[in-house]
Amino acid sequence: MLKLCANLSMLYTEVPFLERFKQAAADGFRGVEYLFPYAYPASEILQRLQDQQLQQVLFNLPAGNWDEGDRGIACDPKRVSEFRAGVERALEYATVLNCQQCNALAGIAPAGLRSTALRKTFVDNLHYAADLMQQSGVKLLIEAINTRDIPGFYLNKSEQAISILDEVGSDNLFYQYDIYHMQVMEGDLANTIQKYLDRIGHMQLADNPGRHEPGSGEINYHFLFQHLQQIGYQGWIGCEYRPLTTTAAGIGWLQDYAQI
C-alpha cells in the first residue's frame, strides 16, 4: 500500500495554512509535508498534527528569501554561513514536530561562478548538514527540479543528484525524486526509480503538463503506482500538485489511482 501525504503548500490553499491540517485529515491523508514551517511556532504546528493524528513527513531547510526569488542557497559560496544556520533552525523544528527528514534545496546557480565552485559548495554544505542531522536522527534529502519552472536551478537531473550523493558519501543523504520534475527533464520514470530505488528517500507527484492532479495529463499513474508497489518502494509520496480546479473537486483521484 502506498503512503501518500498531502503537500499543504499546494493543496487546500483556499483556507489559512493552519486550517489545512484538518482538511488533509478529512480527505484521508495520514501525513503532511509543505515548503517551510518557519512562519509559525513549532508548538502551533505540533498541536494541529496531534489534533488530526497526522505525521509530519517533510519540510525544506530555510531556502533564503523565497518571496524575493530565492529557491535555495545550498550551492551559493557567498551564503554558506546562512545555509548552516538554517540547518540548525530546521533541526529545532524537526525535533519538536518529530519530522524524520528534511530537504535541502540547491538553489538557482549564481551568475558568474564556475560550476566547480558551485558543486564544491553544495557538497561541502551537504557534508555539514548530513552529519549534523544524523546526530538527531533526521535524514537529509536533495531534490532535482526542472529548469522550465525554475530556470537556472542548479540540481536538475537524477544522474547529477546521484553523483552528488556519491561524492558526499554520507549514509544520511538521500534523493528526493519528484515524478513531475523528472518527467519534464528526463522521462523514463519507471526505469530511473527502479535503478535508484535504494537511494530514494522520498517521492513527490504531479501530472504533466500543468502540474495538476494525477489523471489530468500524460503520466500513466495507474502503471506507475503498480510499479512502485512491485519494486517495493516503502517511503512516502508527497502530493505536490496544483488542483486543476479545487482540491475538493479533484481529490477523487485518490480512490481511482491508489490506496492511502
Q: Residue 220 maps to which CATH number?
A: 3.20.20.150
Which grid cell sits at 238? Answer: 508527497
Q: What pLDDT sits at residue 257?
A: 75
Each residue's pLDDT tens digit, 172-229: 999 999 999 999 999 999 999 999 999 999 999 999 999 999 999 999 999 999 999 9
Number of domains in the chain: 1
Residues acting as catalytic residues: 143, 240
Residue 83 has pLDDT above 60, yes or no: yes
Residue 260 has pLDDT above 60, yes or no: no
Domain membership of residue 106 as a residue range: 3-257
The mean predicted confidence, pLDDT, of the chain is 96
Each residue's pLDDT tens digit, 124-158: 999 999 999 999 999 999 999 999 999 999 999 99
What is the rounded radius of gyration, in angstroms, for the C-alpha atoms of the chain? 17
Q: What pLDDT sits at residue 22?
A: 98
Q: Taking residues 35-46, report their average pLDDT.
A: 98
Determine the distance from the C-alpha atom of residue 33 to the mean position of all C-alpha atoms in its chain, rounded to a whole number.
8
Supply the DSSP symbol for 35.
S
Task: Tell me the pTM.
Answer: 0.96
Residue 1 has pLDDT above 90, yes or no: no
Q: What pLDDT sits at residue 256?
A: 80
Query: Residue 193 is which amino acid?
Result: I
Quick one: pLDDT band at residue 119, thresholds 50, 70, 90? very high
Enumerate residues 6+ apart whose C-beta is below 8 A from 6. Answer: 12, 20, 24, 27, 29, 31, 32, 33, 238, 239
